[in-house]
Structure 1
Amino acid sequence: MASETSGGDAAGGTVRVDSWIWSVRLVKSRSMGAAACKGGHVRVNGERVKPAHGVKPGDEVRLRQAQGRERVVVVKRLIRKRVGAPVAVECYVDNSPPPPPREAVAPAGVRDRGAGRPTKRDRRELERLRGVLGRKDGPSDA
């Protein structure tokens, strides 16, 4: 296991940010970590960073994930290789806000299984419920 850690207590040690967020299991793959950095979804100490930016113990890493959830972690220990979840949790301090309750997140357009494609009538009812003004194709009544 000594080969998996880079000696987080050693002075001057850094690890690439895309590699570190993959190693501590904040993203599923290193390429997803690099894509998040390139897309501006990763900030280290408040600054947007490139995938090759080095992180060191004490840095604050903010990662914006799907559905607007933001993970805020403080680097506690540097690791270069992906490790098991219990070991990965020991490498950072999680300061993330709690996720919103599941009831607060409204499902977007849930239809019954096997209901098929919505008809025009279904679409009009959905628009009426959402408060969207529909188009008027025919002559006006006024």
Structure 2
Amino acid sequence: MRIDKLLWFLRLVKTRPLAQTMAEEGHMRLNGRRVERSHQKVGTGDVLTVPTAGGVRVIEILSLPQRRGPAPEAQACYRVLDAGADVPIAAANRNEAF
């Protein structure tokens, strides 16, 4: 499945064009590698690092959704790997300095 479509189906972004822009600007990582194409393929078991409004979220894809359904259905398709909360970008940068 395309990464832009997946982000939209998982309700991590509000619109698919926004997901396309994020991917093409290189703001995401797929299995540790920078994503620069909105048509990058994603499968189960892949780990995505996605910027959100509050910081950065790291998720593992458990299954590929068939549609953009309700939030509980979307959340069942991935597992959050970053301790369940968004990590503020500024705080992450401060911790690296120490």
**TM category, shorter:** 0.7 to 0.9
Q: CA deviation at 1:80?
A: 4.3
Tell me, yes or no, if structure 1 residue 46 matches structure 2 residue 32.
Answer: yes
The superposition leaves residues 31-71 of structure 1 with CA deviations (integer Å, 9 ceiling, x where unpaired) of 1111110111111001112110110100001111235x001
State which of 8, 16, 19 in structure 2 corresponds to 1:33.
19
Counterparts of residues 1-142 of structure 1 (less than 5 Å): 15-49=1-35, 50-67=37-54, 69-97=55-83, 98-99=85-86
Greater helix fraction, Structure 1 or Structure 2: 2
- Gapped runs of 5+ residues in structure 2? 89-98
- Gapped runs of 5+ residues in structure 1? 1-14, 102-142
Superposition RMSD in Å: 2.0
**2:40, 2:16 → 1: CA distance?**
14
Q: Which 4+ stretches in 1 moved above 6 angstroms? A: none
Between Structure 1 and Structure 2, whose CA radius of gyration is higher? 1
Q: CA deviation at 1:100?
A: 6.2
TM-score by length of 2: 0.79
Greater strand fraction, Structure 1 or Structure 2: 2
Number of residue pairs the alignment of both structures matches: 87
Conserved 8 A contact 1:19-1:80? no
TM-score by length of 1: 0.56
**1:55, 1:83 → 2: CA distance?**
19
Aligned residues: percent identity?
34
Larger relative contact order (CA 8 Å, sep ≥ 6): 2
